Amino acid sequence: MITSTDSALLARLSFNQMTADPWSLEEAVRQCEKNHVPWIAPWRHKLDDVHKAAALIRNAGLQVSSLCRGGWFSAPTPEERRQRIADNRVAIEQAAILGRPVLVLVNGPAHGQTLDDARATVLDGIAEVIPDAEKAGVTLGIEPLHPMYAADRSVVVTLKQANDMAKQLESSAAGVVIDAFHVWWDPEVYTEIERARGHIAGFHVSDWSVPLPGILMGRSMMGDGVIELRRLRTAVEAAGYTGPIEVEIFNDEIWAAADDTLIPRIQQAFLDHV
């Protein structure tokens, strides 16, 4: 039986498109619409035509919670850095067309630089596109990734670091995205969630099962792992965030078995564990 509390929670569920990589955007939208999932989070590499995608999503009665992804600022050469800045400007425009969801920033590895230099480059890169984001009304969500991705995906690895960056940027367009899989282990996470008050731009859920199925494809369905998801959600809400909650699971088995049962399973796990 679905209670009114359940309904209120389900009304915040967003389906991150990479949870079912084999689905086209059309199929993902159809599955969300059929199951009354009100939010969706598309990925840029799966958008053929952003205007058509925006219409498709809007016509199904869905809203976009976030667009993945901008960032990747820490390029090794000035020329590549300029390309990355340009690409982030395109991403901001795409987000504007999709209804101004959060643009999630995955900030990239050190690419042979020292960690300090790479981190400075990332902050510079975000600062450079912040005026574009402000003008477009798009929030940039700095997402700290789990430290196991520090070498190949993100030199931003803790919520403290993301909070520090968001505060330094001093812009209403600078926020942080809190993904449970990336931050659950951190002894400072509850302190930092409170410190993120006023600039929390998103909350993502999945789970960490033991043993971990893999490094990149290591995420599990909520409830299949050890993350204290409800405690994290409660903390994020206590810090003032009441927006959409994205389910973002990269898992080979879930991808291989993605069918009509997937979204109902996600909804149940979401109610039971988030």
- Footprint of its own copies (CB under 8 A): 109-110, 114-115, 119, 146-148, 150-152, 157-158, 160-161, 184-188, 208, 210-212, 215, 225-226, 228, 231
Note the helical H segments in 35-77.
Answer: 50-59
| Alpha carbon distance 54, 97 (integer Å) | 7
Q: From the CB of residue 198, how many other CB atoms can be counted at a distance below 10 Å?
A: 12
| Alpha carbon distance 162, 181 (integer Å) | 15
Is the Cβ of residue 21 or residue 164 nearer to its own copies in the bound state?
A: 164
69: tokens are 């992804």
Is the Cβ of residue 81 or residue 160 nearer to its own copies in the bound state?
A: 160
Q: Closest approach of Cβ 230 to its own copies, in Å?
A: 11
Is the Cβ of residue 55 or residue 185 nearer to its own copies in the bound state?
A: 185
Is the Cβ of residue 1 or residue 210 nearer to its own copies in the bound state?
A: 210
Angle at 8 between CA 192 and CA 197, to 5 degrees: 20
Is the Cβ of residue 73 or residue 208 nearer to its own copies in the bound state?
A: 208
Phi/psi of residue 80, each to 5°? -65, -35
Is the distance from CB of 207 to CB of 221 less than 8 angstroms? yes
Q: Closest approach of Cβ 211 to its own copies, in Å?
A: 6
Q: Closest approach of Cβ 32 to its own copies, in Å?
A: 31
Helix (H) or strand (E) holding 95: helix 78-97
Note the helical H segments in 139-197.
Answer: 159-169, 180-183, 189-195
Q: Closest approach of Cβ 118 to its own copies, in Å?
A: 10
Tell me whether residue 78 is exposed, middle or buried, using C-beta atoms within 10 angstroms of its C-beta: 0 to 12, 13 to 18, 19 or more. exposed
Is the Cβ of residue 66 or residue 161 nearer to its own copies in the bound state?
A: 161
Q: Closest approach of Cβ 192 to its own copies, in Å?
A: 12
Is the distance from CB of 140 to CB of 105 less than 8 angstroms? yes
Q: Closest approach of Cβ 224 to its own copies, in Å?
A: 12
Tell me whether residue 207 is exposed, middle or buried, using C-beta atoms within 10 angstroms of its C-beta: 0 to 12, 13 to 18, 19 or more. buried
Q: Closest approach of Cβ 94 to its own copies, in Å?
A: 29
Is the Cβ of residue 132 or residue 143 nearer to its own copies in the bound state?
A: 143
